[in-house]
């Protein structure tokens, strides 16, 4: 007979869990028969002792089996998706989904909300007036068939074991365990039913994974899991040492994404959007597609406007603007030498763009504009950051988070490569 305490002891002492033990633990935790305290103990044991490839695969399969798996076979298009491990200013999903859909590929982008210093895609999109993120499985399939792109919340029936376990890991110091990260991400993405998946694994101070080798291990683990479940999976490792683009915050990032869809926008956002689109299109059978051209000629913008309208959003309504702004200025001439992405993310969070606990409302207009970024010249008195919030008492804490976290040097600094590595299945 399997018991929770025996499973915990096995992993605590460095043993290997059987498939039966893993299936039993996940099923009974989902049903409520295994207590949070017991699953917390097992998560900590995995955090400390690790798990081998077979255990991770079984854990992932058990979480998929805890709920439904979407059936997108009737969409009538190849399906491809992207998942980012989270960063600062990471608004790539917004221009990417309609860009890939412009080539006849369906993009079922089931997204989440922000917590802490990293923003959430759903929070950004809900800054658009009346934008709806809640859809049934039938509604998702209908929109993919008609328009080719949807960005919405995942159903509560999709990998419910992960929903419970993620919340538990977040409050028990076990988030960073690679076996648990990989199985959490991939159980949801595999259950989503997509044909192919491209992972954007962020690396650096503003990312969840700070170390390049650890990020490679995570990427390889997730690519293997996807491939083993019949999902064509690859990964890009991308730099998150400085913020992506020029904005951090919900409506601010939507505005920047629309600039990209209009053929403009910051070079790094355009570069990453195009690179991820190429990977997704190649996985969907279009290796020679030119996504950069679809940004310039308006095809991606057309899909974006159709997608927003189909999800109830008002394309013509003005985006929210914060009531108050404060500018942070350079105190000497030179070039921006460093800018810590995490510090900028924390500033945006403190201004009201993020939340400290699940369910807390966000300020749609709050955030940070970056007027000067790494490598650019600046003069004393010029604005480097513009801070936005509806509650001016937040400015002091936001400015404190930036203090000492960006520097001005005498000589120009070249930014490193945005794409650090590729992992293929």
| Contacting residues for 339 by C-beta, under 8 A, at least 6 apart | 242, 243, 370, 373, 374, 405, 406
Q: Which two tokens stand for residue 229?
A: 């479940």
Which of the following is catalytic: 80, 111, 184, 196?
A: 184
Catalytic residue among 188, 202, 220, 255: 188
The sign of the torsion formed by the CA atoms of 225, 231, 234, 235 equals negative
- Walk across the sheet containing 377-378 and list its strands: 377-378, 334-339, 406-409
**CB atoms < 10 A from the CB of 32, how many?**
9
- In 149-212, DSSP assigns E strands to 149-153, 196-203
Among 11, 28, 83, 220, the active-site one is: 83
CA distance 416 to 240: 11
CA atoms within 13 A on the CB side of 210: 5
- Residue 381 is classified by DSSP as T
Active site residue 216: no
DSSP E strand boundaries for 67-148: 80-84, 107-111
Residue 83 appears among annotated catalytic residues = yes
Tokens of 70: 């979407």
Exactly one of 58, 162, 195, 239 is catalytic; name it: 162
For residue 144, give every residue at least 6 positions away whose Cβ sits within 8 Å of its Cβ, in sequence order, or none: 72, 75, 77, 79, 106, 107, 108, 150
CA geometry: angle at 207 spanning 203 and 208, to 5°?
A: 100
Question: Do residues 149 and 303 lie in contact, with contact meaning Cβ atoms separated by under 8 Å?
Answer: yes
Q: What is the largest CA-CA distance in the chain?
A: 72
Is 229 noted as a catalytic residue in this protein?
A: no
CA-to-CA distance for 46 and 56, rounded, in angstroms? 10
Strand stretches in 187-231, DSSP E: 196-203
Helices (H) and strands (E) in the chain — how many of each? 16, 13
From the list 113, 124, 169, 255, the catalytic residue is 169
The pair of structure tokens assigned to 376 is: 């650019």
Torsion angle, CA of 256/260/262/265, rounded to 10 degrees? 70
Query: CB under 8 Å to 151, separation ≥6 — which residues?
Result: 93, 94, 97, 109, 111, 121, 122, 125, 133, 307, 311
Q: Which residues are catalytic?
A: 83, 162, 169, 184, 188
């Amino acid at each position: 007979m399997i018991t929770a305490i025996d499973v915990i002891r096995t992993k605590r002492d460095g043993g290997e869990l059987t498939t039966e033990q893993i299936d039993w633990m996940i099923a009974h935790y989902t049903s409520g028969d295994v207590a949070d305290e017991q699953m917390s103990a097992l998560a900590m044991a995995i955090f400390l002792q690790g798990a081998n490839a077979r255990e991770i695969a079984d854990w992932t399969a058990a979480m998929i089996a805890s709920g439904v798996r979407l059936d997108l076979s009737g969409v009538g298009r190849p399906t491809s998706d992207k998942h980012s491990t989270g960063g600062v200013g990471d608004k790539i999903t917004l221009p990417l989904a309609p860009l890939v859909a412009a080539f006849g590929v369906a993009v079922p982008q089931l997204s989440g909300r922000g917590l802490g210093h990293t923003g959430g895609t759903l929070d950004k999109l809900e800054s658009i007036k009346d934008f709806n993120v809640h859809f049934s499985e039938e509604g998702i399939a209908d929109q993919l068939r008609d328009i080719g792109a949807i960005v919405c919340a995942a159903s509560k029936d999709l990998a419910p074991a992960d929903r419970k376990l993620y919340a538990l890991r977040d409050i028990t110091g076990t988030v960073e365990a690679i076996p648990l990260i990989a199985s959490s991400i991939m159980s949801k993405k595999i259950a989503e039913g997509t044909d192919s998946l491209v992972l954007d694994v962020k690396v650096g101070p503003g990312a969840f994974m700070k170390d390049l080798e650890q990020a490679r291990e995570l990427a390889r683990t997730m690519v293997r899991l996807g491939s083993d479940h019949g999902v064509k999976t690859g990964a890009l490792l991308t730099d998150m040492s400085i913020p992506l683009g020029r904005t951090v915050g919900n409506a601010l990032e939507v505005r920047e994404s629309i600039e990209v869809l209009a053929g403009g926008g910051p070079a790094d956002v355009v570069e990453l959007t195009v690179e991820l689109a190429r990977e997704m299109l190649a996985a969907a059978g279009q290796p020679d597609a030119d996504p950069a051209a679809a940004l310039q000629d308006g095809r991606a913008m057309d899909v974006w406007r159709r997608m927003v309208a189909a999800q109830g959003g008002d394309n013509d309504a003005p985006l929210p603007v914060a009531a108050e702004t404060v500018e942070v200025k350079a105190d000497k001439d030179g070039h921006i030498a460093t800018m810590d992405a995490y510090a900028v993310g924390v500033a945006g969070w403190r201004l009201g763009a993020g939340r400290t606990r699940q369910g807390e409302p966000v300020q749609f207009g709050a955030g940070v504009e970056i007027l000067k970024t790494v490598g650019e010249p600046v003069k004393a008195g010029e604005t480097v950051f513009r801070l936005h919030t509806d509650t001016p008492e937040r400015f002091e804490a936001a400015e404190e988070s930036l203090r000492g976290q960006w520097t001005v040097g005498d000589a120009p600094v070249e930014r490193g490569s945005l794409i650090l590595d590729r992992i293929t299945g």
